Structure 1
C-alpha cells in the first residue's frame, strides 16, 4: 500500500448525511491515494438511514460509520477542508485548501429526495479527485 498523496476532511453540521456521502465516494473512487476524514460541528447520534440506503444503491456501504465531532487536529492533519453548510464553524489554518460545497441538507428526507444530492456529491468528488491528481502529478 502506498502513502496517500493528499488528505481530505469533509465537514457538515451533523456528520450524518452530506459529509458521510462525500467521504464514502472519495474512499471508494480514490482508494488509498487519498486519506479521508469526515466530521460534524454538532454530530448526530447516527448516520441518516436514508443516506446509508442511497449509498448502498451505489455499492458503497457506510452503515458502520458513526458521526464524529470536528477537532482542530483533524483540520491540521488535512490538505483539503471541504465544508457543507458550516463554514464559519470550521477553524482556519494557513496552507490548507478550503472549499465550501453548497448542497441541500438531506436531514429528514427520504431516499428519493436524497438521490439527487448524492449524485451531485459524486460529481463534486470526481472533480476533487481530478484536481488532487493534477496537483500531485507536477
Structure 2
C-alpha cells in the first residue's frame, strides 16, 4: 500500500451508499486517503434523500455525480469496498476487497436513510483504523 492509501467505493448506481461512504472517508481522513466512488450502472444523479441525510450531519454531496466503474479504478486502488454490485465488480490480484452489506437507500425516506448513513460512518471509521489513519473529525 502506498503512503497515501487509495479506497474505491462501489455500488450499482453510485447514487447513495457509495457516495455517502466516499464523503465520510474524505471528511474523516482529512485528505490522508485517496477516495473514489463509482457504479457498475451509474444513475442519473445522486439520491436526493442521501444528499439530505448527509447535509444533516454537515457533509455536502449535492455537487457529486454518479461515475462509471472502470477496471483501472479498481486496479489502482488499495482497497475496494463493494456495496451490492455483485458480479459487475472486476477482480484484480493484490487489491483488498471488502463487501459491506447495507440496505439500499433508493426509494427510501429520510427515516430509513439516516441509519444507513450512520452505519456507513461507523464502517468508515473502522476502515480508517485498519489503514492506520487517525480520523480528523470523528
TM category (shorter chain) comes to: over 0.9
3-state SS of paired residue (1:32): coil
User: What are the Cα deviations for residues 44-82 of structure 1, in whole angstroms up to 9, with x where unaligned?
Assistant: 000000000000111100000000010011011100000
Runs of 4 or more off by more than 3 Å in structure 1? none
**Shift in CA distance, 50/4, structure 1 to aligned 2, threshold 3 Å:** farther
Tell me the equivalent position of 1:11: 10
For the pair 1:76 / 2:75, whether they are aligned, the reply is yes
- 2:89 corresponds to: 90
In the TM superposition, residue 87 of structure 1 has moved relative to its aligned partner by 3.4
Q: Alpha-carbon deviations, 1:6-47, whole Å to 9, x = none?
A: 000000000000000000000000021000000001100000
Q: How does 1:1-138 map to 2 (within 5 A)?
A: 5-133=4-132
3-state SS of paired residue (1:105): coil
Aligned pairs, how many? 132
> What is the CA–CA distance in structure 2 between the aligned matches of 1:35 and 1:25, rounded to whole Å?
12
